[in-house]
């Protein structure tokens, strides 16, 4: 079997970025490491568990999700909050696999953060507090999905937020709304009446790199084994 992987993503995964913070700033943010912005904390909804379901068989690589995400979140050119991998498997079958932060239940990126900038909300979103991030890159190294990058414009680590500013106002994430084939389904996994809970309950979905113990909250249908590496 022949497999070629072409990744439409350029996300730095290494390096130390400390020039934007002097020693006094670093000391201050460590002292505030447990602080979460009150606005975001107030918006998080206890009892919910946001998740996404992606039907790979419906994705044809139009990159509408990538474009919509970049426009919605002011993502700098050359880095991505969501991206699409193009896999050529078997005798030449092309499969497109969208990827992004998995907002893991056991987020491996949280503990390594020395300032508490990376944290989980009550409804399971994994976010970055820009005021506390010193750009050390520890979370970038810890993420098994390569879903974090250093935002050179803001000077902090950046990633997918499931468009929390949208979902807390009753809207869908930009990538979900933009998908022309309905390949992405988003919702509250704890709501048994939600479409995503129904899809996941069927037990036919797969998740990426489950052996890490991260418990990712993005579920796939028809995920090729080549994409789970």
Per-domain residue ranges of the chain: 4-223
pTM of the complete model: 0.81
Tell the CATH topology of 4-223: Alpha-Beta Plaits (3.30.70)
SS3 for 98? strand
Work out the number of other CB atoms within 10 angstroms of the CB of residue 74.
10
Confidence (pLDDT) at 36: 36
User: How do the pLDDT tens digits run along the chain, 229 residues long?
Assistant: 444 444 455 433 333 334 444 433 334 333 333 333 333 444 677 789 999 999 999 999 999 999 999 999 999 999 999 999 999 998 899 999 999 999 999 999 999 999 999 999 999 999 999 999 999 999 999 999 999 999 999 999 999 999 999 999 999 999 999 999 999 999 999 999 999 999 999 989 999 999 999 999 999 999 999 898 8
Q: Which long-range contacts (CB under 8 A, 24 or more apart) does 109-115 make?
A: 109/139, 109/142, 109/143, 109/148, 110/139, 111/142, 112/138, 112/139, 112/141, 112/142, 113/138, 113/139, 114/30, 114/33, 114/138, 115/26, 115/29, 115/30, 115/32, 115/33
């Amino acid at each position: 079997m022949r497999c070629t992987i072409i990744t439409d993503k350029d996300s730095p995964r290494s390096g130390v970025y400390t020039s934007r913070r002097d020693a006094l700033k670093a000391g201050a943010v460590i002292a505030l490491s447990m602080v979460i912005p009150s606005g975001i904390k107030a918006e998080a909804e206890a009892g919910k568990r946001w998740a996404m379901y992606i039907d790979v068989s419906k994705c044809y690589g139009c990159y509408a999700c990538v474009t919509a995400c970049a426009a919605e979140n002011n993502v700098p050119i050359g880095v991505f909050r969501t991206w699409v991998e193009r896999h050529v498997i078997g005798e030449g079958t092309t499969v497109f696999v969208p990827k992004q932060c998995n907002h893991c239940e056991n987020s491996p990126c949280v503990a390594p953060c020395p300032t508490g900038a990376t944290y989980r909300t009550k409804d399971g979103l994994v976010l970055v507090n820009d005021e506390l991030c010193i750009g050390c890159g520890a979370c970038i190294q810890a993420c098994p999905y390569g879903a974090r990058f250093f935002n050179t414009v803001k000077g902090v680590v950046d990633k997918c937020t499931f468009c929390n500013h949208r979902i807390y106002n009753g809207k869908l994430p930009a990538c979900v709304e933009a998908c022309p084939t309905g390949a992405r389904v988003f919702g509250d996994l704890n709501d048994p009446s939600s479409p995503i809970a129904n899809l996941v309950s069927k037990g036919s979905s797969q998740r990426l790199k489950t052996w890490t113990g991260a418990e990712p909250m993005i579920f796939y249908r028809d995920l090729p084994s080549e994409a789970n590496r």
